[in-house]
Amino acid sequence: MAVITHRRHGRKIPSRQPSRPPIRYQDWDASGWAGLIGAFAFLALQLGLTPMAIGGGPWEIIKAIAGVALGSAAMVRPPGLRLIAIALAVLLPVALVYSRLLSSAISGRSRATGLILGACAGLFLYWWHAYALSWLMPWLSLWRHPLSLVAHLAWGLSMAWVYQQFYAAHAFLRR
Protein backbone atom coordinates (compact mmCIF):
# COMPACT_ATOMS: atom_id res chain seq x y z
CA MET A 1 0.00 0.00 0.00
CA ALA A 2 1.21 3.44 -0.83
CA VAL A 3 1.49 6.13 1.82
CA ILE A 4 0.03 9.54 1.04
CA THR A 5 0.06 12.77 2.98
CA HIS A 6 -3.32 14.14 4.07
CA ARG A 7 -3.99 17.59 2.61
CA ARG A 8 -5.34 19.35 5.68
CA HIS A 9 -3.52 17.78 8.57
CA GLY A 10 -0.18 16.92 6.96
CA ARG A 11 -0.06 13.46 8.50
CA LYS A 12 0.68 10.32 6.54
CA ILE A 13 -2.10 7.81 6.07
CA PRO A 14 -2.14 4.61 4.03
CA SER A 15 -3.79 4.87 0.64
CA ARG A 16 -6.65 2.57 -0.27
CA GLN A 17 -5.22 2.10 -3.74
CA PRO A 18 -2.49 -0.46 -4.18
CA SER A 19 0.80 0.82 -5.49
CA ARG A 20 1.52 0.12 -9.13
CA PRO A 21 4.14 -2.42 -10.08
CA PRO A 22 7.22 -0.95 -11.73
CA ILE A 23 7.18 -0.72 -15.50
CA ARG A 24 9.15 -3.52 -17.12
CA TYR A 25 11.37 -2.10 -19.83
CA GLN A 26 12.37 -4.49 -22.60
CA ASP A 27 15.74 -3.70 -24.14
CA TRP A 28 15.56 -4.57 -27.84
CA ASP A 29 19.27 -4.00 -28.45
CA ALA A 30 20.18 -6.37 -25.64
CA SER A 31 17.70 -8.88 -27.00
CA GLY A 32 19.29 -8.76 -30.45
CA TRP A 33 22.80 -9.26 -29.11
CA ALA A 34 21.59 -12.08 -26.88
CA GLY A 35 20.06 -13.83 -29.88
CA LEU A 36 23.19 -13.53 -32.01
CA ILE A 37 25.62 -14.56 -29.29
CA GLY A 38 23.34 -17.39 -28.16
CA ALA A 39 23.01 -18.68 -31.73
CA PHE A 40 26.77 -18.74 -32.26
CA ALA A 41 27.28 -20.47 -28.88
CA PHE A 42 24.67 -23.06 -29.86
CA LEU A 43 26.22 -23.57 -33.28
CA ALA A 44 29.72 -23.96 -31.84
CA LEU A 45 28.53 -26.53 -29.32
CA GLN A 46 26.50 -28.42 -31.91
CA LEU A 47 29.43 -28.50 -34.33
CA GLY A 48 31.73 -29.73 -31.58
CA LEU A 49 29.48 -32.18 -29.76
CA THR A 50 27.28 -33.76 -32.42
CA PRO A 51 30.06 -35.63 -34.26
CA MET A 52 30.93 -37.30 -30.94
CA ALA A 53 27.32 -38.38 -30.44
CA ILE A 54 26.25 -39.56 -33.89
CA GLY A 55 29.49 -39.89 -35.79
CA GLY A 56 30.07 -38.17 -39.07
CA GLY A 57 31.34 -34.67 -39.32
CA PRO A 58 30.16 -31.24 -38.31
CA TRP A 59 28.67 -30.75 -41.77
CA GLU A 60 25.63 -32.78 -40.73
CA ILE A 61 24.50 -29.95 -38.45
CA ILE A 62 25.07 -27.32 -41.13
CA LYS A 63 23.10 -29.46 -43.60
CA ALA A 64 20.27 -29.98 -41.12
CA ILE A 65 19.92 -26.25 -40.45
CA ALA A 66 20.15 -25.38 -44.15
CA GLY A 67 17.58 -28.09 -44.81
CA VAL A 68 14.95 -25.91 -43.17
CA ALA A 69 15.20 -23.63 -46.21
CA LEU A 70 16.28 -26.11 -48.89
CA GLY A 71 14.34 -29.20 -47.86
CA SER A 72 15.76 -32.69 -47.78
CA ALA A 73 17.98 -31.87 -50.78
CA ALA A 74 20.34 -30.10 -48.39
CA MET A 75 21.29 -33.40 -46.78
CA VAL A 76 22.90 -34.67 -50.01
CA ARG A 77 24.50 -31.40 -51.12
CA PRO A 78 28.26 -31.16 -51.00
CA PRO A 79 29.51 -29.01 -48.13
CA GLY A 80 30.67 -25.51 -48.90
CA LEU A 81 30.39 -21.83 -48.10
CA ARG A 82 26.99 -21.55 -49.78
CA LEU A 83 25.59 -24.16 -47.41
CA ILE A 84 27.06 -22.31 -44.42
CA ALA A 85 25.53 -19.04 -45.63
CA ILE A 86 22.11 -20.66 -46.02
CA ALA A 87 22.36 -22.24 -42.56
CA LEU A 88 23.25 -18.89 -41.00
CA ALA A 89 20.45 -17.19 -42.95
CA VAL A 90 18.06 -19.65 -41.31
CA LEU A 91 19.59 -19.78 -37.82
CA LEU A 92 20.20 -16.10 -37.08
CA PRO A 93 16.70 -14.69 -37.76
CA VAL A 94 15.15 -17.58 -35.85
CA ALA A 95 17.53 -16.91 -32.95
CA LEU A 96 16.50 -13.25 -32.94
CA VAL A 97 12.84 -14.25 -32.68
CA TYR A 98 13.63 -16.70 -29.87
CA SER A 99 15.62 -14.10 -27.96
CA ARG A 100 12.89 -11.47 -28.33
CA LEU A 101 10.36 -13.90 -26.86
CA LEU A 102 12.73 -14.87 -24.05
CA SER A 103 13.64 -11.27 -23.26
CA SER A 104 9.98 -10.33 -22.95
CA ALA A 105 9.67 -13.04 -20.29
CA ILE A 106 12.81 -12.17 -18.31
CA SER A 107 13.01 -8.38 -18.50
CA GLY A 108 12.68 -6.83 -15.08
CA ARG A 109 13.11 -10.12 -13.23
CA SER A 110 15.93 -11.28 -10.99
CA ARG A 111 19.03 -12.89 -12.46
CA ALA A 112 18.20 -16.29 -11.00
CA THR A 113 14.68 -16.20 -12.40
CA GLY A 114 16.03 -15.10 -15.77
CA LEU A 115 18.50 -17.97 -15.90
CA ILE A 116 15.84 -20.47 -14.87
CA LEU A 117 13.58 -19.16 -17.63
CA GLY A 118 16.53 -19.37 -20.04
CA ALA A 119 17.09 -23.02 -19.14
CA CYS A 120 13.38 -23.69 -19.64
CA ALA A 121 13.59 -21.97 -23.02
CA GLY A 122 16.54 -24.20 -23.93
CA LEU A 123 14.54 -27.30 -22.99
CA PHE A 124 11.62 -26.06 -25.06
CA LEU A 125 13.89 -25.37 -28.04
CA TYR A 126 15.31 -28.87 -27.80
CA TRP A 127 11.82 -30.36 -27.82
CA TRP A 128 10.74 -28.03 -30.63
CA HIS A 129 13.71 -28.83 -32.88
CA ALA A 130 14.26 -32.51 -32.14
CA TYR A 131 10.67 -33.68 -31.81
CA ALA A 132 8.02 -31.20 -33.00
CA LEU A 133 9.73 -29.97 -36.18
CA SER A 134 11.05 -33.41 -37.03
CA TRP A 135 7.51 -34.38 -38.01
CA LEU A 136 7.82 -31.94 -40.91
CA MET A 137 11.57 -32.21 -41.41
CA PRO A 138 12.72 -35.74 -40.49
CA TRP A 139 16.42 -34.90 -40.82
CA LEU A 140 16.14 -32.82 -37.63
CA SER A 141 15.70 -36.04 -35.67
CA LEU A 142 19.49 -36.37 -35.68
CA TRP A 143 19.38 -33.86 -32.82
CA ARG A 144 17.77 -36.44 -30.53
CA HIS A 145 20.76 -37.10 -28.31
CA PRO A 146 21.88 -35.84 -24.89
CA LEU A 147 24.71 -33.67 -26.22
CA SER A 148 22.23 -31.78 -28.37
CA LEU A 149 20.15 -31.25 -25.24
CA VAL A 150 23.26 -29.74 -23.62
CA ALA A 151 23.75 -27.44 -26.63
CA HIS A 152 20.12 -26.30 -26.50
CA LEU A 153 20.32 -25.68 -22.75
CA ALA A 154 23.47 -23.64 -23.35
CA TRP A 155 21.61 -21.69 -26.04
CA GLY A 156 18.79 -20.75 -23.67
CA LEU A 157 21.12 -19.99 -20.77
CA SER A 158 23.49 -17.92 -22.89
CA MET A 159 20.61 -15.89 -24.35
CA ALA A 160 19.28 -15.19 -20.85
CA TRP A 161 22.70 -14.37 -19.40
CA VAL A 162 23.76 -12.10 -22.28
CA TYR A 163 20.40 -10.32 -22.21
CA GLN A 164 20.71 -9.69 -18.48
CA GLN A 165 24.26 -8.36 -18.85
CA PHE A 166 23.32 -5.96 -21.63
CA TYR A 167 20.08 -5.01 -19.85
CA ALA A 168 22.01 -4.13 -16.69
CA ALA A 169 24.57 -2.11 -18.65
CA HIS A 170 21.88 -0.21 -20.52
CA ALA A 171 19.90 0.36 -17.30
CA PHE A 172 23.02 1.93 -15.81
CA LEU A 173 23.31 4.22 -18.84
CA ARG A 174 19.60 5.16 -18.67
CA ARG A 175 20.03 6.64 -15.19
pLDDT digits (tens, 9 = 90+) for 62-85: 888 999 999 888 888 888 899 999
pLDDT at 27: 86
**Low-confidence residues in the chain, pLDDT < 50:** none
- 17 in a structural domain: no
In a domain, 23, yes or no: no
Q: Coil, helix or strand for 5?
A: strand
- Residue 14 belongs to a domain: no
Q: Which residues contact 73 (CB under 8 A, 6 or more apart)?
A: 67
Specify the pLDDT at position 163: 96
Task: Confirm whether 44 is domain-assigned.
Answer: yes
Residue 164 lies in a domain: yes
pLDDT in the model for residue 52? 81
**Do residues 46 and 61 lie in contact, with contact meaning Cβ atoms separated by under 8 Å?**
yes
Q: Tell me whether residue 20 is in a domain.
A: no
32 contacts: CB under 8 Å, gap ≥ 6: 96, 99
What's residue 149's pLDDT? 94
- Give how many domains the chain has, as a whole number: 1
pLDDT value for 74: 83
Is residue 64 in a domain?
A: yes
Instruction: Tell whether 5 is covered by a domain.
Output: no
> Contact at 8 Å (CB) between 83 and 112?
no
Q: CA-to-CA distance for 146 and 91, rounded, in angstroms?
A: 21
Domain range holding 62?
A: 29-174
